[in-house]
Amino acid sequence: MNTKNIDRIIDKHQGTADSLIQVLLGIQSEYQWLPKAALERVGERLQVPMSRIQHIATFYKAFSLVPKGRHQVHICMGTACHVRGAPRILDMMRDLTGISPGETDQELKFSLETVNCIGCCALGPVVEIDGKVHGKISTAETADILEQYK
């Protein structure tokens, strides 16, 4: 972790305690997670107790205290996707990546999450990878879609 990068993110948000969430979002965006050293630096610079930083970092789902993969895979498990086969897509994704929801593979290529709704119900089942939506997919197409991100 580069302290200069953390300082740059803090300075971008005026370096005040009021900007804590924005600073954490900036770090999360830069590193895909919140390294402990970064949180300690934020606490120093913003003069915010580590307990407060930990509370915020664990409260919001947008933050991760463990490393995430380069590719974020979200499988919609909402009603429309569920009835159209999302559980089978999830099973196939587990088989292909070797990870379950909430996990990251050892090579830090993929992190897998399930979500309640992506908002593309007419396209179900839907898988979103790095913000790109893949709709109306079948289990047979899952491997081809994932291959695009290796």
pTM attached to this predicted model: 0.75
Nearby residues of 75 by Cβ (< 8 Å), 6 or more positions away? 81, 86, 89, 90, 93, 101, 112, 113, 114, 115, 125, 126, 127
Q: Return the percentage of the chain with pLDDT > 90, whole number.
A: 85
Would residue 110 count as lying in a domain? yes
Helix axes 20-31, 3-12, angle to 10 degrees: 140
Between the two ends of the chain, the Cα-to-Cα distance in Å is: 25
Segment 144-149 mean pLDDT: 92
Residues 89 and 49 in one domain: no
pLDDT at 62: 83
Q: What CATH number is given to the structural domain containing 76?
A: 3.40.30.10
Segment 47-73 mean pLDDT: 92
| Structural domain boundaries enclosing 49 | 3-59
Residues 75 and 131 in one domain: yes
Q: Which residue has the higher pLDDT, 90 or 30?
A: 90
Would residue 64 count as lying in a domain? no
Would residue 85 count as lying in a domain? yes
Residues 132 and 80 in one domain: yes
Residues 42 and 8 in one domain: yes
Residues 88 and 137 in one domain: yes
- Tally of domains in the chain: 2
pLDDT at 59 over 70: yes
Residues 81 and 125 in one domain: yes
Mean pLDDT over the full length of the chain: 93
Residues 78 and 98 in one domain: yes
pLDDT at 58 over 90: yes
What is d(CA 98, CA 61) in angstroms, rounded to the nearest whole number? 23
Give 130: exposed, middle or buried? Use CB within 10 Å, 0-12, 13-18, 19+.
Answer: exposed
pLDDT at 124 over 90: yes
Would residue 65 count as lying in a domain? no
Residue 52, CA atoms < 13 Å, CB-side half-sphere:
12
pLDDT at 150 over 90: no
Residues 30 and 82 in one domain: no
pLDDT at 56: 95
pLDDT at 1: 67
At 128 the three-state DSSP class reads strand
Nearby residues of 23 by Cβ (< 8 Å), 6 or more positions away? 9, 10, 13, 42, 46
